[in-house]
Structure 1
């Protein structure tokens, strides 16, 4: 997941996303948490959390999270970062910037992305589960790592009613 922006964009993470947590080995968060409560929640409910800070994250989150995180899972090398720059040229730019990664998880745009750069780097942006911006749905991704391969990459679309917006009373 990425770009949760809590509690600015929603009151809490959507129930379908929270229901996935007990069934996964690793949760990735590609930044823009905005509040430390979401970090605390994911740390307490996840077997393993790999997260980074984003451009909207303040000093408390930056003190607890790196700008870039790395993890090896099932023979694959993952890198996580919030921002990758413009969509044009992203694959080549990221392949050059993260030459030792097999998969790059990123956020910032709130736009789901799944491409493979020349040379094989897989780039994944899960969108946002709480702030769809110009997208038709709020989203997150799941994937399976098996025998050194990334399989079953699925973009999950959240029904609008699962995202609880803050009231502007």
Structure 2
């Protein structure tokens, strides 16, 4: 199973049409061959989800700026031995939440900063950042200042339950 993961698109009907078109051209390339698209919230308007469905089936959760009534706050999907939770904002007690829902992977948004990180309690955190309003991670001492780049993520789980995941920088 290959997932295309996106969040924090903040696309509205008043967004510039040429920007929406450029974004979809990039997403079609980045998500080529995915089995499902996961949107971790802050879609803004439902028409954007309908456009994403032209690329692949979609699962989406409600973000803090979404007014789409059909969206849930949290969704759990499973594939092979992996349980994947999708939520917009990480809960305060992440370890307890992961154990309560028996999650191996949690996909989230809200920060607009891409992240792929293992935790001390043997789970994977995945945040695709934002393709439209990216933010850079905080600067670490001794390192150059990070640059905010529009991004999405792909996550692949093969027939042997081997997982690989990649941050894809978009050229928007």
Whether TM exceeds 0.5 here: the answer is yes
Q: Unpaired runs of 5+ in structure 2?
A: 1-5, 137-146
| TM alignment of 1:67-146, pairs within 5 A | 67-84=73-90, 93-99=93-99, 100-134=102-136, 135-146=147-158
Aligned pair count? 149
Per the alignment, residue 2 of structure 1 pairs with 7
Per the alignment, residue 31 of structure 1 pairs with 41
**Residue 25 of structure 1: CA displacement?**
0.6
Per the alignment, residue 19 of structure 1 pairs with 29
- Aligned alpha-carbon RMSD (Å): 2.0
Contact 2:85 2:107 in 1 (8 A): yes
Q: TM-score, normalised by structure 1?
A: 0.79
Of 129, 141, 148 in structure 1, the residue corresponding to residue 161 of structure 2 is 148
Q: TM-score, normalised by structure 2?
A: 0.78
- Matched residue SS, 1:55: coil
**Residue 44 of structure 1: CA displacement?**
3.9
CA distance in structure 2 between the aligned counterparts of 1:155 and 1:9, rounded to whole angstroms:
25
Residues 20/136 of structure 1: CA separation in 2 closer, same or farther (3 Å cut): closer
Residues 20/139 of structure 1: CA separation in 2 closer, same or farther (3 Å cut): closer
**Residue 14 of structure 1: CA displacement?**
4.2
